Amino acid sequence: MRFLVMGAGSIGSVIGGLLSEGNHEVCLLGRDPHIETIVRSGLEITGIWGDRTVTDIMAVTTPGDVIVEGFEPEWIILSVKSYDTDSALCDLRPVLSEARGIISLQNGLGNVEAIERTVPGKTVGGRVIFGATTIKPGSVNVTVCADDVLMGPVRTGPTGIESVCESFAASGIPCRYESNIVSYIWDKVLYNVCLNALATVLGCSYGELGDDPETKKIIEYLTCEFYEVANAEHVETVSESPGAYLERLKNLLLPPTREHRSSMQEDILKGRRTEIDALNGAVWNLGLKHGIKTPVNETLTRLIHHLESQS
C-alpha cells in the first residue's frame, strides 16, 4: 500500500516509519529540521515497540513536493493538530481525489466532520491511544500504549479499511477494525477531557490525578458534563454511564499511562497553541448549543487559553 502521512510529528513519524519498515511505500510530510534529518540520516524509532532506524523513506516539507516526486497515495493519514485540519485538507487538494480514503488519526472533535465536508465518502475515523515524543530531529520514542489503534468508516466511508488495519498490525502497530468508530473517537476525547488540561494546569502526571481524591472529584465532574453533552448529540458511548467510564478509567486506562504527561503540557512549555478547543472547549461549546451547563470544562478551557497567552 502507499501511505502519505500529513503531519509527520511524533505519532505520524512512528506510524509512517513502521509502515515503511513493513514494506509499504510511505511519504512523510512534515517540517524541518525533522524532515531534513530523516532525508539525510533516516528515521530513528525507539521505545516500547523496539529500536530501529528506518532508511530510504520519502520525506518532504510541502504538498507540492509530493506531486513533484510523483507519489500517488492510496491512503492519506492525517496526524496534524485539530486546528490545522481544514488547512491541511486545502493543501492536499491535488492528491485528495485519487486517494481511496483519508484516515484521521487525530485528537479531538470535528476532524472527521471536516474531512467528510471536503471529500464525502472517503472519511476513515481513527482512535490512537499510544504516546510518542520527539527526542531530537529525526528521532522519535514510543513511550506508552493503552490499547490498539482503531479504524473504521465514518458514514458510508471507503472500502478496504480492514486491509489497512491488517497492514498496520503486520508492521508492528497494534491495530484493529472498529465499525462503530465514532463512539471510540468520542471515548478518546473523554479520556483527554479528563486528563490533558487538568494535568497541564497542575503540572503533573496522569497517575497523580488518579491518586488524589480532589482531582478525582474534578475528573468525575468533567465526565458527567461530557455525558450530558454526548447524550444531547445522540452519541452512543462506549461505557454506558459516567460511573461505568470512571471505573474503566481507574482500572484499565490509567494504569498503563500512569507516568505519562500530556502533549498539551509540552505545547505550553514550547509556546505552541494547544488543542483545547477540540477537547474541553468542544464540550463547553456543544453544551452552549444544547443549553447544558459545563462549568468545569469551561473553566479548564479558559485556564489553558490563559497559559497559551502567557507562553
Residue 211 sits in the same domain as residue 283: yes
Q: Whole-angstrom Cα distance, residue 272 to residue 265?
A: 10
pLDDT for 77 equals 98
Q: What are phi and psi of 279, to 5 degrees?
A: -120, -105
Q: Whole-angstrom Cα distance, residue 147 to residue 234?
A: 25
Residue 84 sits in the same domain as residue 175: yes
pLDDT for 97 equals 87
Residues designated as active site: 188
Q: Which one-letter amino acid corresponds to residue 188?
A: K
Q: In CATH, what number is assigned to the domain containing residue 248?
A: 1.10.1040.10
pLDDT for 157 equals 86
From 179, 198, 215, give the residue that closes a domain: 179
Which element (helix H / strand E) includes 132? strand 130-136
What range defines the domain where residue 238 resides? 183-310
Q: Whole-angstrom Cα distance, residue 149 to residue 145?
A: 9
Helices (H), 153-294: 161-170, 181-202, 206-211, 213-232, 242-248, 263-269, 280-290
Q: Whole-angstrom Cα distance, residue 307 to residue 103?
A: 31
Q: In CATH, what number is assigned to the domain containing residue 121?
A: 3.40.50.720
Residue 300 sits in the same domain as residue 270: yes
First to last CA, the chain: 42
Name the DSSP class of 277.
Answer: G
pLDDT for 134 equals 94
Residue 225 sits in the same domain as residue 247: yes
pLDDT for 260 equals 86
pLDDT for 257 equals 87
Residue 173 sits in the same domain as residue 204: no
pLDDT for 201 equals 97
Structural domain total, the chain: 2
pLDDT for 67 equals 86
pLDDT for 256 equals 87
pLDDT for 229 equals 98
- pLDDT by residue for the chain (311 residues), tens only, comes to 999 999 999 999 999 999 999 999 999 999 999 999 999 999 999 999 999 999 989 999 999 999 888 899 999 999 999 999 999 999 999 899 889 999 999 999 999 999 999 999 999 999 998 989 999 999 999 998 889 999 999 988 899 999 999 999 999 999 999 999 999 999 999 999 999 999 999 999 999 999 999 999 999 999 999 999 999 999 999 999 999 999 999 999 999 888 888 889 989 999 999 999 999 999 999 999 999 999 999 999 999 999 999 97
